[in-house]
Amino acid sequence: MADTSWTRRRFALTSGLATLALPLSRASRAVALDTEATAGAKEQTGSQERWIELASIHTGEVVKATFGKQSGPDSATLAKLQHLLRDYRVNEEHTMDSGLYEQLSDLAQAAGHEPRFEVISGYRSPRTNAQLRSSGHGVAERSLHMEGRAIDVRLKGCDCALLRDLALRAKRGGVGYYARSNFVHLDTGRVRTWNG
């Protein structure tokens, strides 16, 4: 009898421990899955970031900006980029279309280069635009530079003709190619192209 009772107790104890172990096993599995999901989310978030570096050839200023693919640059980053892209001739700033930054990042990626750009021109005040037109620089009377929707750039390490071709394929706005001055005009207006 004693042996049977001992076996029953042992069986009950073993069953009880197994029953307790099951939720613990599930809990530890859930924690492991949660940890993997968190790590995966962090990894995915990291891959959702983009960056660009803009260097003004006129002022020597450089701004490196990191921002989310979906969210775009935050207000502090936009302010830094806007300051760099000001009309340096009259020290005047204007809100810039953030679509330009996304476009630059995507073009650099398509070209297989780091997104490091030399900026020839960003915002252009109406006064500067009029002066450049009157002195024969061939700028458009209603230039999108005056609206903060255009930028003239070179991508470091990339031939400007290739940058132009990639921008034309992307069809995200106007693309002007200035071979003699070695830069590409990009804007967020209607799709069109020209050579300067």
Q: What is the CATH number of the domain that holds 189?
A: 3.30.1380.10
**Tokens describing residue 169:** 């394929």
Q: Calculate the alpha carbon distances from 104 to 77, 118, 147, 164 in Å.
A: 15, 11, 18, 12
Q: Closest by alpha carbon to 102, among 173, 159, 195?
A: 173
35 and 107, same domain (yes or no)? no
Residues 27 and 94 in one domain: no
Query: Domain check: are 57 and 28 in the same one?
Result: no
What is the domain range of residue 37?
A: 1-47
Q: Quote the pLDDT of residue 27.
A: 43
Asked if 139 and 54 sit in the same domain, the reply is yes
Distance CA 28, CA 23 (A): 9
Task: State which H helix or E strand residue 185 sits in.
Answer: strand 183-187
**The predicted structure's pLDDT at residue 39:** 40
Q: Is 57 left (phi over 0), alpha (psi -120 to 50) or beta?
A: alpha
Residues 72 and 98 occupy one common structural domain: yes
Strands (E) across 105-182 are located at 116-121, 150-155, 174-178
Please state the pTM of the whole predicted model.
0.75
For residues 107 and 56, give the distance between their C-alpha atoms in angstroms, rounded to a whole number: 19
Q: Splitting the chain (196 residues) into consecutive groups of 10 residues, what average pLDDT does each group show? A: 52 49 45 40 57 98 94 94 98 97 97 98 96 88 96 98 98 97 97 95
User: CB–CB of 112/79 below 8 Å?
Assistant: no
Bridge partners (DSSP) listed for residue 55 = 62, 118
Q: Are residues 84 and 11 in the same domain?
A: no
